[in-house]
Structure 1
Amino acid sequence: MLKLPVSCFIIAKNEADRIGRTIRSVREWADEVIVVDSFSTDDTVQLAEAEGARVVQRAWLGFGQQKRFAEELCRNEWLFNIDADEVVTEKLAREIADVFANGEPEFSGYGMSVALVYPGHTKPRLWARDHFCIRLYDRRVMRFRDSSLHDSVVTDGHKMGKMSSALHHHSIRSFEDMRRKLDERMWLTVANGEPQPRFKVFLRLITEMPMHFLKYYVVRGHFTGGWAGLKYASLQAWYRFMRIYRLWRLGSPKDEAVVLLLIFACNILSYLSTLDILYV
């Protein structure tokens, strides 16, 4: 495949077990691959350089800030962002090449589905529908959001193109790793969240876990993932609930009786999938 006028950038920290596969999935068609590393303590840097990437070190400041910094390092105006745990399939690579087949692309940005691959699996489940993100875009028109918590491209109302193929997302090394990541993200969200009315937080305490279980298990199709899909949906729902519970505790740390009853009810779902995650 001919090189495209596209710079691919990756933010990373301690991704030695995954980043090589990610770089190999883009280096055959991307004009350059840049890795912004946050001082990894494993072999991430050495492996990335061995795969042909340019590595730049920068202390972690937040998701959006890190990606905006990476945008500035790129020599092309068209950028492709991929996380260190994602893989561009051959089918998706061909679609990206087709965008540039007649010169300047039709749209200023292109979105694609991101399909989760469970730990120990080699491909996504049937009917995977996890996320839809803008990953290929013209930085003269749009950029990543300047946010510590959110890392999305701000399209400013421009019409986007859509890829039919999905990125494969090897997001979690194990379900224990998933718990750790969700716990870290929960505390980050709580620390950066804006205060909400007490009645709204209380309503979300009641609805957050069942609604998000339905969202992940049914709407996003994890019911096709068997036991792994049930565990994934349950963990996502539990940590969504725990985020709201933490917000409640911040507002009223002594108001325990109602909350404990809610936790007891919500844990019925957790026990169904053998998730030993009841802690407060």
Structure 2
Amino acid sequence: MIKNISAVIITKNEEANIADCLQTLDFVNEIIIVDSDSNDKTVHIAGGYTKKIFNRKWDGYASQKNFGISKAKNEWILSIDADERVSEELKEEIKSLAFDKEGYLLPIKNYFLGSWLKYGGQYPDYHLRLFKKSKGKFSYGVKEVHETVNIDKKIIKKLQNPMLHYSYNSVSAYFHKFNSYTFLEAAGRFKRNKKPSWYGLFLRPSFRFIKYYIMKLGIMDGVRGLLFHLFSSFYVFSSELKLFEMFRFNKKEIRWKS
């Protein structure tokens, strides 16, 4: 039983991704874009698919997405990022849902440097992306850049077919976002007065690599798996180091960096 669904996407300089994302949303009847002062062709491209485009000063991932949800006319929300695609199999599965739950967990199929990461805790990477507007709201999880929707686990269901996530198609693309993400990670913890630690700086990156690359068999993903988990461990180190810097210099001006 197909329901009316509103897709919500937040963007900033996503001209390379947005068209491919929007082309997979032909089964929803509303698309909402919340853009944060893009200076490329993102808004122009998106305008070919929807008229509901809002410019909003960056206020954090959860806040931007909640703003988009507030503009939706439908009860059901599909939260999707610009570098994600709804697979044909997932599209058909959503169309056939009974919609008898409050939300649905979607398995995310993560691609890195053009290849699917099957191991290292990367699949199935379940996230609550399809949910009732009246029941779900984004809040920050453990990481500032990884927001979550809070709905009672007893009234949600896992879907079988994946959302495709083309996060980093090149090393350059990874490090282009790296500085922004580690800054936002540190800034969020700084605002919540989460103090840094030497454990976080030196041991957490090592434990992260051992857990995901070795214990969760990230090694099975070959060279790309090695690079991904090395980069991820360096991410942990860098965000902790930036947090040390913020507390040392008491930096109170926290803003979006692209």
Aligned equivalents of 1:85 and 1:142: distance in 2? 22
1:119-154 deviation digits (Å, cap 9, x = unpaired): 3x2x62345416321000001122222797552111
> How do 1:91-110 and structure 2 match up within 5 A?
91-100=89-98, 105-110=99-104
Structure-2 change in CA distance of 1:219 and 1:167 (3 Å)? farther
Give 1 or 2 for the bigger CA radius of gyration. 1
Q: Is contact 1:11-1:35 (8 Å) kept?
A: yes
Distance 2:195 2:59 in 1: 29
SS of equivalent to 1:68: helix
- Provide, for residues 86-107 of structure 1, a one-character-per-residue CA deviation record: whole Å limited to 9, x for no partner: 001011111111214xxxx121
In structure 2, stretches of 5+ residues that fail to align are 250-258
- The answer to whether the Cα contact below 8 Å between 2:182 and 2:239 also exists between their aligned partners in 1 is yes
Q: Distance in 1 between matches of 2:109 and 2:218?
A: 11
Distance in 1 separating the partners of 2:21 and 2:248: 45
TM-score between both structures, scaled by the size of structure 2: 0.83
- Could you tell me whether the CA contact under 8 Å between 2:140 and 2:148 is conserved in 1? no
Alpha-carbon spacing, 1:205–1:52, altered in 2? closer, same or farther (3 Å) = closer
Say if 1:14 and 1:114 are closer, same or farther in 2 by CA, change over 3 A: same
Are 2:195 and 2:243, in contact at CA under 8 Å, matched by a contact in 1?
Answer: no
* Number of residue pairs matched by the alignment: 243
Structure 1 residues 51 and 225: alpha-carbon distance in aligned structure 2, compared to 1, 3 A threshold: farther
Rounded Cα–Cα distance in structure 2 between residues aligned with 1:223 and 1:134? 28
Give the TM-score normalised by the residue count of structure 1. 0.77
Amino acid at match of 1:171: S
The counterpart of 2:129, out of the listed 125, 135, 150, is 135
Judge conservation of contact 1:142–1:156 (CA < 8 Å) in 2: no
Partner SS state of residue 40, structure 2: coil
Q: Which has the higher contact order (CA 8 A, sep 6+)?
A: 2
Q: Partner residue of 1:189?
A: 185
Contact kept in structure 2, 1:32 and 1:53, CA below 8 Å: no
> How many Å apart are 1:183 and its aligned residue?
2.3
Taking every aligned residue pair, what percent have the same amino acid on both sides?
26
- The 2-side partners of 1:207 and 1:230 are apart by 19
* Map 1:74-89 → 2, pairs under 5 A: 74-89=72-87
Tell me by how many angstroms 1:8 deviates: 0.7
Match of 1:10 in 2: 9
Q: Distance in 2 between matches of 1:153 and 1:191?
A: 21
Q: In structure 2, what is the Cα distance between the partners aligned to 1:159 and 1:108?
A: 6
Q: Which residue of 1 aligns with 2:45?
A: 47
| 1:117 and 2:111 aligned | yes
Q: Which residue of 1 aligns with 2:56?
A: 58
Distance, in Å, in 1 between the alignment partners of 2:148 and 2:17 is: 22
Q: Deviations over 1:146-169 (max 9, x none)?
A: 797552111155521111122111
Structure 1: unaligned runs, 5 residues or longer: 254-280
Helix, strand or coil for the counterpart of 1:7? strand
Q: Distance in 2 between matches of 1:177 and 1:145?
A: 27
Q: What's 2:24 paired with?
A: 25
**Which residue is 2:255 aligned to?**
none
Measured in 2, the distance between the counterparts of 1:54 and 1:251 equals 40
By how many angstroms is 1:240 displaced? 0.4
One of 163, 167, 172 as aligned partner of 1:171: 167
1:239-278 equivalent positions in 2, closer than 5 A: 239-248=235-244
Aligned to 1:256: none
More divergent stretch after superposition (181-190 vs 217-226): 217-226
Distance 1:71 1:206, change over 3 A: same
